[in-house]
């Protein structure tokens, strides 16, 4: 009897096929695998579950997690709770999209290819850049790839990165650097922004690129104009990591002369999902486009002159260039890029400004409101987008443990990256937080401090 609904082979099929092949058994098809390397036992994994048992089991696991549906979250630090329009899930659930592979056969992949072409355009529009690729694993690895592209373009090995860049992005950069042989120099922060004096001192003619993030890890908006002047001295490349949602409102890095802009499109219609899958994006200038990592879609015409789209500039890629490729990336986050495209199409020209405005307004209200709570101190007085740092009278970890009892997931405990900051908390406020919820956090903190 058939037991596995994903396996259509019947006993009769098996018999017929064995006969057609000219063997006596399925076992014979594995005969050349030497006995010594053969696995004879049973895999020690749990027995098969029916669909209903699986749903129950998965439901129980899911129920052990505190989700945004039950709790009011002020967590950000690179991953944000935003409203996701219903259309996003409806489009990415179309199985013509999600069950397809990389569009190697353009004639039957025009849908995916055109959607990515539109994604590339939207990312260019938001970042103010000429060219964008089809996506990277996440914003952090996109930053490391940007460092790699800068090193290759400049033939230099020193990478200067601001300490206001997300700590995980810097950790990943350090891992990539070990393989690539880069020297990574970190520029300290001053009052929540990149210390420009230190940046000038630490970057020199051996430097391939200067990497900053804006809004930075602490939520503050960097002075990109000032960073650019230092970055472009000695022909270094200027790399900016940016939250794309903030670019609905903020001047795009391209406006400041950035050479490469990267980031994560998670805020654009992609669920937090415990950290992934999200969607790195990568944008650059025309000048550098032939060095870009990953897949790129280009416009062309077919034999009859009809406009169509293809994967292009493939001479950069691993399946052609092998060990000389600009990157080893193959699979990317295409479906997440589609989700981000649907989000950007849904929000459109006006909505992207409006959602960014709601974020900045609500975050400003929250900062002002929390500043009134005795025992809460505002740490930085810098221009900011939707996140800011507060200092508390007690360790953030303890406070968060109390807040959860009030139905609130508190901010990011900065003690996780620096013990000296254990009383500091990074608070994110997006458009989904109401005034009432912000007031509830203020009252909650007031009761705990």
User: What is the rounded distance in angstroms from the CA atom of residue 213 to the CA atom of residue 238?
Assistant: 11
Asked if residues 312 and 120 have their Cβ atoms less than 8 Å apart, the reply is: no
β-partners of residue 30 are: none
Distance of closest approach, residue 31 Cβ to another protein, in angstroms: 7
**Which helix (H) or strand (E) covers residue 199, if one does?**
helix 196-202
User: What is the rounded distance in angstroms from the CA atom of residue 236 to the CA atom of residue 279?
Assistant: 27
Stretch that binds another protein, among 36-44, 192-200, 205-213, 226-234 (CB under 8 A): 36-44
Joined tokens for residue 254: 């391209």
Diameter over CA atoms, the chain? 83
Confirm or reject binding of residue 318 to another protein (CB under 8 A): yes
Phi (first) and psi of residue 236, to 5 degrees = -80, 160
Using the minimum distance from each CB to another protein, give the nearer residue, 26 or 449: 26
* DSSP state at residue 171: H
Confirm or reject binding of residue 9 to another protein (CB under 8 A): yes
Site for another protein in 357-416 (CB under 8 A): 357-358, 360-362, 364-365, 368, 383-384, 397, 400-401, 404, 409, 412, 416
User: What is the rounded distance in angstroms from the CA atom of residue 69 to the CA atom of residue 72?
Assistant: 8
Using the minimum distance from each CB to another protein, give the nearer residue, 108 or 449: 108
Using the minimum distance from each CB to another protein, give the nearer residue, 212 or 335: 335
Confirm or reject binding of residue 14 to another protein (CB under 8 A): yes
Confirm or reject binding of residue 185 to another protein (CB under 8 A): no
Distance of closest approach, residue 3 Cβ to another protein, in angstroms: 7
Joined tokens for residue 166: 């997300």
Site for another protein in 256-285 (CB under 8 A): 264, 271-278
Using the minimum distance from each CB to another protein, give the nearer residue, 210 or 396: 396
Look at residues 396, 388, 441 and name the one whose alpha carbon lies nearest to residue 417.
Answer: 396
Distance of closest approach, residue 192 Cβ to another protein, in angstroms: 14
Using the minimum distance from each CB to another protein, give the nearer residue, 101 or 235: 101
Confirm or reject binding of residue 102 to another protein (CB under 8 A): yes
Using the minimum distance from each CB to another protein, give the nearer residue, 49 or 449: 49
Confirm or reject binding of residue 139 to another protein (CB under 8 A): yes
Using omega within 30 degrees of 0 as the cis cutoff, is the peptide bond preceding 434 cis?
A: no
Confirm or reject binding of residue 329 to another protein (CB under 8 A): yes
* # residues near another protein by CB under 8 A: 209
Q: Which residues of 45-66 are buried (b: 16+ CB within 10 A; e: fewer)?
A: eeeeeeeeeeeeeeeeeeeeee
Stretch that binds another protein, among 153-161, 189-197, 233-241, 290-298 (CB under 8 A): 290-298
Distance of closest approach, residue 204 Cβ to another protein, in angstroms: 24
Distance of closest approach, residue 201 Cβ to another protein, in angstroms: 26
Q: Which long-range contacts (CB under 8 A, 24 or more apart) does 85-90 make?
A: 85/269, 85/342, 85/343, 85/346, 85/347, 87/342, 87/346, 88/269, 88/339, 88/342, 88/343, 88/346
Question: Exactly one of 183, 191, 315, 447 binds another protein (CB under 8 A); which one?
Answer: 315
Length of the chain: 449
Site for another protein in 236-255 (CB under 8 A): 247-252, 255
Using the minimum distance from each CB to another protein, give the nearer residue, 15 or 234: 15
Question: Exactly one of 34, 155, 372, 374 binds another protein (CB under 8 A); which one?
Answer: 34
CA angle 321, 207, 151 (to 5 degrees): 5
Between the CA of residue 143 and those of 263, 267, 326, what are the distances in Å? 7, 17, 15
Question: Exactly one of 300, 378, 443, 449 binds another protein (CB under 8 A); which one?
Answer: 300
Question: Exactly one of 1, 11, 24, 59 binds another protein (CB under 8 A); which one?
Answer: 59
């Amino acid at each position: 009897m058939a037991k596995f609904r994903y396996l259509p082979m019947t006993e009769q099929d098996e018999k017929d096929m064995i006969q057609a092949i000219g063997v006596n058994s399925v076992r014979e098809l594995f005969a050349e695998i030497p006995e010594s390397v053969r696995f004879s036992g049973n895999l020690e994994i749990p027995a098969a579950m029916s669909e209903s048992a699986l749903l129950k089991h998965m439901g129980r696991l899911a129920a052990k997690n505190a989700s945004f549906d039950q709790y009011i979250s002020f967590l950000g630090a690179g991953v944000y709770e935003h409203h996701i329009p219903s259309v996003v899930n409806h489009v990415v659930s179309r199985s013509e999209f999600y069950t397809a592979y990389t569009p190697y056969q353009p004639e039957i992949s025009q849908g995916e290819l055109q959607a990515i072409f539109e994604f590339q355009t939207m990312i260019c529009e938001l970042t103010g850049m000429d060219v964008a690729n089809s996506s990277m694993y996440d914003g952090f690895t996109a930053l490391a790839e940007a460092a790699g592209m800068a090193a290759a373009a400049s033939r230099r090995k020193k990478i200067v990165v601001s300490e206001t860049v997300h700590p995980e992005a810097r950790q990943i950069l350090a891992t990539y650097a070990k393989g690539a042989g880069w020297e990574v120099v970190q520029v300290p922060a001053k009052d929540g922004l990149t210390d420009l004096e230190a940046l000038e001192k630490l970057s020199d003619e051996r430097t391939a690129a200067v990497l900053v993030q804006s809004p930075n890890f602490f939520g503050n908006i960097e002075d990109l104009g000032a960073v650019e002047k230092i970055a472009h001295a000695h022909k270094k490349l200027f790399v900016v990591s940016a939250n794309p949602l903030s670019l609905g409102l903020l001047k795009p890095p391209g406006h400041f002369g950035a050479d490469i802009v990267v980031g994560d499109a998670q805020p654009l219609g992609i669920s937090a999902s415990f950290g992934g899958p999200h969607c790195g994006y990568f944008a650059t200038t025309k000048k550098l486009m032939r060095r870009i990592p990953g897949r790129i879609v280009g416009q062309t015409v077919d034999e009859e002159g009809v406009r169509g789209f293809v994967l292009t500039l493939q001479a950069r890629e691993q399946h052609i260039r092998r060990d000389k490729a600009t990157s080893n990336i193959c699979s990317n986050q295409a479906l997440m890029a589609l989700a981000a495209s649907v989000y950007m199409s849904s929000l459109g020209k006006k909505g992207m400004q409006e959602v960014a405005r709601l974020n900045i307004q609500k975050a400003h209200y929250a900062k002002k409101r929390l500043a009134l709570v005795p025992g809460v101190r505002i740490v930085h007085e810098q221009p900011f987008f939707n996140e800011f740092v507060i200092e508390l009278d007690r360790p953030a970890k303890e406070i968060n443990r109390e807040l959860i009892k009030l139905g609130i997931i508190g901010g990011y405990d900065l003690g996780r990256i620096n013990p000296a900051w254990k009383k500091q908390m990074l608070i994110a406020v997006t458009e989904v937080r109401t005034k009432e919820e912000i007031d509830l956090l203020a009252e909650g903190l007031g009761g705990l401090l």
